[in-house]
């Protein structure tokens, strides 16, 4: 008989693991002084299943003082480092007391870098035990079957290469993030006396540089005119919309020549070509693929998709989401998963259709991950009512899983070329012959069909309308959250678990204005200052080389000490250069901050007085914000406008079409809308509000 302490990552995971490992499936929850654990029986052993609630230990500097460089760190209880993390004190105390009763230690945290490090630190510091004696449960889903198998076949030691990789990543991210942020912040403080935290980091810097480069491309783009041909023809009494063989004509003279030569003329069908194509099913989801698809269909930011996927994983509905893998290994019982899904009314039809097949072979992608398979449903039925967002993401994952087993889709493409006076027009049609996997993935794939009339070679088509349309070249697209995350993945910056947070940080720091990643004046100030004085901080190559070395630790090709020494040397060199230029850097950042604050607060000229400027201000008495004239303090003007008290406000460079006042964009939680500063009295806004109230009343009556 043994007493085994099982260390989990989160309370919900601990509850599931305890339920799976208890012989009767009924563990006892024991609550003690603000924390709890689960006690269960497994054979002759008593299992104490405790949870860490994420990281219980954080890095902090050894040497005191809010300055830089600070290159020596130590692990400390989280409640000593993060003031708000008071709940971790009771958890650490509980684990420490349970460890005194334990004969064995099993780490059952998520099997990745972060989870491995969390388990290691708990064993070493909270339990006060030698981590080399701890065992490891390895699983990719929180189903009872997989958890029991993971317990029965647990590894006899921790994956110390993962632990070392996690340890180093935390150290390097702390060293670069803390020191560089302090350097920027202190440069401002020593220049202007302001304490305004301006941050950068090992990955944040290159990400800012990528966004700045795209922003500059857009802002410096000069549109060039070109012409396209809009044409219609008539055949057998039917009207046909035709396309010209060249999408773009560079001169108006050439475009008008096409019109002169073909308008009102008769063309002949020169050829009709038919092509049958097969389209393979999509590959399984890894985290990046899921985040991209969720943004495309639902508008979910990558961080939100990860949070939703994590909840579905903790409910045992999907496999572990933080994976790079695009493959479903043979070890996964796909028939069992499909049987489980067939018990859900929404998926019974497709699941049953797949189960009727003798062979089930999923499409596989190229990317692999030794720790976890591609994201897939487990076949478990939800034990609670999913939120609308969770339900949508779960539906996407399930239908992607179905599509993997579908046959290729067959499509027919038809092109008819019509020649008129040496100019070629064409008509193209598409038809789905066999939907194959598309049938399983709807509504997340479209198969638009375009009918082609039964034209044959030699048929006459009269060109009833041919005209030249002037157009302009378009600038490159700005990043959106999904495309920026994809670029980080392509450049090998950050990890699958951290990229979403890096994307979000640009906006939370005030460096970008919206989800289109338009750089703010503050973002430009930070970027241009770093580019001018310490360009290495913005270098993709520099950051990528460090990422590659950290990955080598996980593969056993480098030691943590080797990589850490090099990283510290590079950081010392950067900070030394920074300190020698601190005055210049501080002045440039101060100027950028002043422009940033001015743009955030200034709305435009006051419509009441001649020389005042409307500003966003906050009342010192009530704390409420409103728009007021800059001449208010001198008594020259009392013009004010009310503002919504919640949400982020961005002043837009456009006027209200109803009343001519400046427009604002307000973002509150997940909702974004535009209105004018005169919204309380604007006649057009009042009409919009009445229409909105009517729609709400109608929906309420129907409900």
Beta strands in 560-643 (DSSP E): 602-605, 613-618, 625-629, 640-642
SS3 content of the chain, % helix, strand, coil (to 5): 40, 25, 35
Give 676's strand partners: 663
> Are β-strands 409-420 and 423-434 bridged in parallel, bridged antiparallel, or unpaired?
antiparallel
Structure tokens at 169: 């990543």
C-alpha–C-alpha distance, residues 208 and 525, integer Å:
11
**Contact in structure between 576 and 180 (CB atoms under 8 Å):** no
Judged by DSSP in three states, 623 sits in coil
Q: How far is CA 191 from the centre of its chain?
A: 36
Give the separation between CA 545 and CA 112, rounded to whole angstroms.
21
DSSP, residue by residue, 163-231:
HHHHHHHHHHHHHHHHHHHHHHHHHHHHHHS--------TTHHHHHHHHHHHHHHHHH----EEEEEEE
**Distance separating alpha carbons of residues 258 and 248, to the nearest angstrom:** 12
**Cβ-Cβ contacts under 8 Å for 690 (sequence gap 6 or more):** none
Active site residues: 320
Cβ contact 300:381 at 8 Å? no
DSSP 8-class letter at 437 = T
Residue 522, classed as helix, strand or coil, is helix
């Amino acid at each position: 008989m043994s007493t085994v302490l099982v260390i989990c990552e989160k309370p919900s995971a601990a509850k599931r693991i305890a339920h799976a490992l208890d012989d009767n499936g009924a563990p006892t929850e024991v609550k003690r002084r603000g924390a709890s654990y689960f006690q269960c029986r497994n054979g002759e052993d008593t299992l104490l299943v405790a949870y860490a609630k994420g990281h219980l230990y954080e890095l902090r500097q050894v040497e005191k003082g809010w300055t830089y460089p600070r290159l020596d760190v130590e692990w400390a209880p989280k409640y000593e480092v993060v003031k708000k993390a008071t709940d971790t004190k009771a958890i650490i105390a509980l684990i420490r007391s349970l460890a005194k009763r334990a004969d064995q230690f099993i780490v059952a945290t998520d099997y990745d870098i972060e989870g491995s490090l969390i388990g290691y630190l708990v064993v070493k510091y909270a339990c006060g035990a030698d981590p080399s004696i701890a065992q490891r449960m390895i699983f990719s889903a929180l189903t009872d079957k997989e958890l029991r198998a993971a317990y029965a076949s647990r590894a006899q030691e921790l994956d110390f290469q993962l632990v070392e990789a996690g340890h180093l990543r935390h150290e390097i991210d702390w060293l670069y993030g803390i020191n560089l942020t302090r350097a920027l912040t202190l440069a401002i403080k020593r220049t202007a006396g302001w304490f305004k935290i301006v941050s950068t980091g090992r990955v944040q810097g290159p990400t800012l540089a990528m966004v700045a480069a795209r922003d500059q491309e857009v802002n410096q783009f000069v549109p060039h005119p070109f012409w396209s041909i809009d044409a219609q023809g008539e055949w057998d009494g039917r009207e046909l919309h035709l396309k010209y063989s060249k999408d773009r004509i560079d001169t108006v003279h050439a475009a008008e020549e096409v019109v002169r030569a073909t308008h009102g003329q008769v063309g002949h069908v020169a050829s009709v070509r038919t092509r049958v194509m097969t389209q393979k099913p999509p590959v399984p989801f890894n985290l990046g693929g899921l985040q991209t698809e969720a943004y495309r269909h639902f508008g979910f930011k990558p961080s939100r998709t990860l949070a939703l996927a994590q909840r579905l994983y903790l409910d045992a509905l999907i496999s572990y989401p933080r994976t790079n893998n695009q493959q479903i290994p043979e070890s996964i019982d796909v028939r069992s998963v499909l049987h489980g899904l067939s018990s859900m009314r929404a998926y019974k039809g497709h699941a049953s259709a797949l189960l009727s097949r003798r062979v089930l072979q999923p499409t596989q992608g190229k990317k692999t991950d030794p720790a976890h398979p591609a994201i897939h449903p487990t076949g478990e039925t939800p034990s609670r009512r999913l939120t609308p967002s969770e339900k949508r993401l779960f539906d996407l994952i399930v239908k992607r899983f179905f599509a993997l087993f579908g046959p290729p889709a067959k499509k027919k493409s038809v092109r008819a070329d019509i020649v008129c006076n040496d100019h070629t027009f064409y008509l193209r049609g598409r038809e789905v012959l066999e939907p194959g996997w598309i049938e399983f993935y709807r509504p997340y794939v479209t198969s638009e069909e375009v009918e082609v009339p039964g034209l044959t070679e030699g048929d006459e088509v009269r060109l009833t309308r041919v005209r030249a349309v002037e157009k302009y070249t378009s600038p490159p697209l700005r990043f959106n959250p999904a495309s920026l995350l994809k670029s980080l993945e392509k450049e090998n910056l950050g990890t699958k678990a951290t990229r979403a947070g890096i994307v979000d940080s640009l906006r939370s720091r005030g460096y970008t204005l919206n989800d289109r990643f338009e750089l703010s004046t503050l973002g430009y100030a930070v970027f241009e200052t770093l580019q001018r004085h310490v360009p290495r901080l913005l270098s993709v190559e520099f950051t990528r080389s460090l990422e590659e070395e950290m990955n080598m630790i996980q593969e056993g090709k480098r030691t943590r000490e080797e990589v850490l020494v090099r990283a510290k040397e590079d950081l010392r060199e950067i900070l030394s250069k920074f300190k020698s230029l601190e005055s210049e850097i501080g002045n440039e950042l101060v100027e950028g901050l002043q422009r940033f604050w001015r743009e955030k607060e200034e709305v435009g000229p006051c419509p009441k007085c001649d020389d005042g400027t409307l500003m966003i201000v906050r009342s010192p008495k009530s704390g409420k914000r409103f728009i007021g004239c800059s001449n208010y303090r001198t008594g020259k003007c009392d013009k004010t406008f009310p503002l919504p008290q919640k949400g982020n406000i961005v002043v837009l460079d456009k006027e209200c079409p109803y009343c001519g006042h400046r427009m604002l964009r307000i973002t509150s939680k997940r909702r974004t809308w535009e209105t004018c500063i005169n919204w309380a009295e604007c006649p057009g806004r009042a009409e919009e509000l009445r229409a909105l109230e009517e729609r709400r009343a109608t929906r309420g009556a129907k409900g």
